[in-house]
Amino acid sequence: MERFNFEMADVLVVDDQASNIQLIYQVLHSDYNIYMARSGAEALELIKTQRPDIILLDVYMPELSGLELCRMLKGNPIYCDIPIIFITSFTEPEQEVECWEAGGVDFVQKPINQLTLSKRVKAHLTLKFQADVLKRLVNLDGLTGIYNRRYFDEQGAIFFSNSQQTNVGFSVVMFDIDYFKDFNDRYGHLVGDDCLKKVSSCINRLVNDDHKLFARYGGEEFILLISEASLLDVKSLIESICNAVAALKIPHESSKCSAYVTVSAGAIYCDNPEIARLNDLVEQSDAQLYRAKDAGRNQVFLKEILNPF
């Protein structure tokens, strides 16, 4: 049974009243890392850089209410699994229903009972950490530790749909380790597995943010989705990835394009994702990858699509 280190848990308290934040801090700060926001907008900015394990959220705040903030977070696949406990003074059943429907997992009534607050936070953190363990088992590739094909098939569509709403440039990139079958034949599958781990880890370090989704697509192929980036930024990122993999200097005596392990990349940049289909973009990026391989490998083929149809 995996043990959870609650001292490492991050708790975000969102309340427009400083006195309420101070009280919650006094109750929880000895057990958790506490972060504070005085408005819904401030909380949204903080979450982008410091993703919390749980949120304690006041229902009634000016401008962006707790209910509205909760709905926004639950509608975003990146943040939807963060448990939200509402801190509230409501007494009407209709208000309670609103909180449940917005996506809250529990309530703590004002004035706050300190023991109740402490027990409920610990209970929901336990449930979240247990769910995180199960998600890792289901969604992560057992060898490389990055997202697997199952996760990509489920979450890639959601990621793309969210990007379509902004209608800002969207890219699909396919990577393939050059002459990997020959690598396995020469060095053996154990060394091949180690190579896959190193390459995937190298790429993952460069693409680990909310605007990218990186997964093992199958065998020695990897796929990367990029939202809200310009064509030049995408091109620069792909080149950085290819250079970083080459800089690992993993010997590959059977390669016909380099003395070290390299990757080829095929990419599609779509200016108008709102009218595109993800499957079409994946197929076209795969076609660009085959162009790169046919041209000698260890290179990038990037195509811009102005009209996906």
DSSP string, 13-49: EE-S-HHHHHHHHHHHTTTSEEEEESSHHHHHHHHHH
Q: What is residue 8's predicted lDDT score, i.e. its pLDDT?
A: 80
Q: Among the listed ranges 112-126, 137-151, 156-170, which one has the minimum average pLDDT value?
A: 156-170
Q: Does the predicted TM-score (pTM) go above 0.75?
A: no
pLDDT at 164 over 80: yes
Cβ-based neighbour number of residue 26 at 10 Å = 11
- DSSP reduced 3-state for 299: coil
Read off the pLDDT of residues 14-70 as tens digits, 9 standing for 90 and up: 999 999 999 999 999 999 999 999 999 999 989 988 889 999 999 888 888 999 999
Rounded to whole angstroms, how far apart are CA atoms 173 and 228? 14
pLDDT at 3 over 60: no
Q: What is residue 309's predicted lDDT score, i.e. its pLDDT?
A: 55
In the structure, what pLDDT confidence band is assigned to residue 300 with cuts at 50, 70 and 90? very high
Give the pLDDT mean for 283-309: 91
Q: What is residue 198's predicted lDDT score, i.e. its pLDDT?
A: 98
- DSSP reduced 3-state for 258: coil
Strand order in the sheet with 84-88: 33-37, 10-14, 54-58, 84-88, 106-109
Rounded to whole angstroms, how far apart are CA atoms 61 and 56? 13
Give the pLDDT mean for 133-159: 90
Q: What is residue 1's predicted lDDT score, i.e. its pLDDT?
A: 41
Q: Among the listed ranges 87-96, 113-122, 250-259, which one has the minimum average pLDDT value?
A: 87-96
141 vs 49 pLDDT, higher one:
141
Q: What is residue 306's predicted lDDT score, i.e. its pLDDT?
A: 74
- Which structure tokens are listed for 303? 């195509």
Q: What is residue 134's predicted lDDT score, i.e. its pLDDT?
A: 85
In the structure, what pLDDT confidence band is assigned to residue 90 with cuts at 50, 70 and 90? confident
Give the pLDDT mean for 202-219: 94
Give the pLDDT mean for 139-150: 94
Q: What is residue 39's predicted lDDT score, i.e. its pLDDT?
A: 92
For every residue of 151-213, DSSP letters joined together read HHHHHHHHHHHHHHHHT--EEEEEEEETTHHHHHHHH-HHHHHHHHHHHHHHHHHHS-STTEE
Q: What is residue 6's predicted lDDT score, i.e. its pLDDT?
A: 64
Sequence-distant (6+) residues with CB within 8 A of 115 are: none
Sequence-distant (6+) residues with CB within 8 A of 181 are: none
The percent of residues in the chain predicted with pLDDT above 90, rounded, is 72
Q: Among the listed ranges 4-8, 21-25, 115-119, 295-299, which one has the minimum average pLDDT value?
A: 4-8
Give the pLDDT mean for 173-187: 98
Q: What is residue 60's predicted lDDT score, i.e. its pLDDT?
A: 87
